[in-house]
């Protein structure tokens, strides 16, 4: 490219980065402001304070935030593990086997993925209360599977299609069973796709608000997004903007850490199969 084109691409890239990171920087700034400094209209705090972080970690809001943080980690990790395990078997069958209704399964999975969550919350709320799953970890893990499993199947089926049949057949010729060939040959080769799928599924479950606020009522299973909606100020006239911003920063840290640690696998997984041959 010519120098002028490089400059324009650099300017566009910087503009996109600033546009994407400005809300994050604003939330971090709000989390470091005192209650009297929140509405002054300035981007940077006039005096940096850690009061909001103390409130959610050791203060009055810790009883609401810390159990919710534990619940989110546990529920999302379990939902992600189950989703990836089931998606591996389903995607392998879709990619390798020829059976009637294969396209219908993929179409149904796509339909479930785009189905509006709010339309099924009310019947799910009534059903969960009747069978005893309301306000429990399984009561959130099962709905989270409906969010993560369809996308996991779609993503992993694309990876399994790219793995040559000959490698699995060679393992079977050497004496491996179908299960051994799948476990020792296919799954390791699909590791980038599995990592990518697991991280995306974890993010989807981690960010859910509708199920969390509708299917829980106590700290026994309430996740972080739902807990943030229940924050209150020191009085009815005080808005908990600072505490919510501090909690949002802490909740964002695991996502950032996961992306930084597995960024190469994410990129490898997302680009795998983009070019054939």
Residue pLDDT, tens place only, 71-82: 999 999 999 999
What are the C-alpha distances in Å from 112 to residues 115, 153, 174, 202, 218? 5, 12, 41, 18, 28
29's tokens = 């700034």
Give the model confidence (pLDDT) of 9-42 as tens digits. Answer: 999 999 999 998 898 898 899 888 887 777 777 8
Grade residue 233 by pLDDT with cuts at 50, 70 and 90. low
- Give dist(CA 99, CA 68) in Å, integer: 44
Query: What is the pLDDT of the chain when averaged over all its residues?
Result: 84
The model carries a pTM of 0.84
DSSP state of 136: S
Residues 132, 210, 113, 203: is their CA dihedral positive or negative?
negative
Q: Which residues of 116-143 are buried (b: 16+ CB within 10 A; e: fewer)?
A: eeeeebeebeeebeeeebbbbbebbbbb
Give the model confidence (pLDDT) of 141-192 as tens digits. Answer: 999 998 899 888 888 888 888 888 788 788 878 787 878 888 888 888 888 7
């Amino acid at each position: 490219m010519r120098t002028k084109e490089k400059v324009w691409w650099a300017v566009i890239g910087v503009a996109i980065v600033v546009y994407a990171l400005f809300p994050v920087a604003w939330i971090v700034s709000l989390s470091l402001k005192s209650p009297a400094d929140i509405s002054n209209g300035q981007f940077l705090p006039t005096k940096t304070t850690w009061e909001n972080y103390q409130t959610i970690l050791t203060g009055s809001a810790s009883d609401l935030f810390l159990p919710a943080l534990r619940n989110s980690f546990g529920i999302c990790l379990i939902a992600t593990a189950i989703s990836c395990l089931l998606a591996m078997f389903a995607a392998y069958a879709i990619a390798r086997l020829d059976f009637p209704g294969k396209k219908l399964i993929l179409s149904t999975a796509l339909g479930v993925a785009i189905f509006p969550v709010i339309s099924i919350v009310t019947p799910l709320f009534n059903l969960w209360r009747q069978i005893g799953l309301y306000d429990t970890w399984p009561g959130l893990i099962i709905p989270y599977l409906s969010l993560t499993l369809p996308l996991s199947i779609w993503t992993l089926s694309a990876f399994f299609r790219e793995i040559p049949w000959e490698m699995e057949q060679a393992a079977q010729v050497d004496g491996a069973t179908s299960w051994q060939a799948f476990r020792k040959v296919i799954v390791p080769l699909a590791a980038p796709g599995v990592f990518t799928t697991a991280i995306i599924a974890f993010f989807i479950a981690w960010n859910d608000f509708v199920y969390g606020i509708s299917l829980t009522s106590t700290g026994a299973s309430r996740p972080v997004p739902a807990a943030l909606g229940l924050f209150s100020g020191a009085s009815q006239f005080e808005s908990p903007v600072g505490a919510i911003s501090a909690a949002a920063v802490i909740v964002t840290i695991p996502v950032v850490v996961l992306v930084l640690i597995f960024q190469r696998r994410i990129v490898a997984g997302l680009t795998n199969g983009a070019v054939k041959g």
